[in-house]
Amino acid sequence: MLSMIFACDEVGAIGIDGTLPWRQSSDLQFFKQTTLNKTVVMGRKTWQSIGRPLPNRRNIVMTRDDGFSETERMGFEQVLELAQSEEVVIIGGGEIYALFLEHTKELFRTVVHTRVEGADTFAPEFTHLGFHLLTERTVAAGPNDDHAMTFQHWIV
């Protein structure tokens, strides 16, 4: 199965200059809990922004750079084939989300209650694809969070 996870602001911004535009420890904990012991797929820029393999996950990078050898690398069709036999979670960035959106069956979105000025990367618009909100939980900002947030679980 193919799923997707991302955090966005109230208008869909997910990044600025290759970085997350907030500090949300609670969301990072949710991300870890949701992706642990699964295969995660990301683009090269996301890989570089993380800076290391995510522990206890199979890390796959999609890149056009034939010289990339820092971790496992796959193409679009290979990822789709892999998702037939195991849970694969798309973790970014914007181009990778757009590429897999129509094949995604489950989506985890954290809405961070802020609006980012100057954002240059946005979450894919998915509501037109038949997704339905399964659960939603709003939480106040914790001691290591910049903003309150709402955790949403969507399915097709």
**pLDDT tens track for 54-76:** 999 999 999 999 899 999 999 99
Domain that holds residue 99: 2-155
- Percent helix, strand, coil in the chain, to 5, is 25, 35, 40
pTM, two decimals, is: 0.95
Contact 13, 119 (CB under 8 A): yes
Peptide bond into 12 cis (omega under 30): no
Q: Which amino acid is at 150?
A: T
Domain CATH for 77: 3.40.430.10
Q: For the chain, how many structural domains are there in total?
A: 1
pLDDT for 140: 98
pLDDT of 127 strictly over 90: no
Q: Which of 110, 129, 108, 97 is nearest to 10 (CA)?
A: 110
Cα–Cα distance between 48 and 43 in angstroms, integer? 9
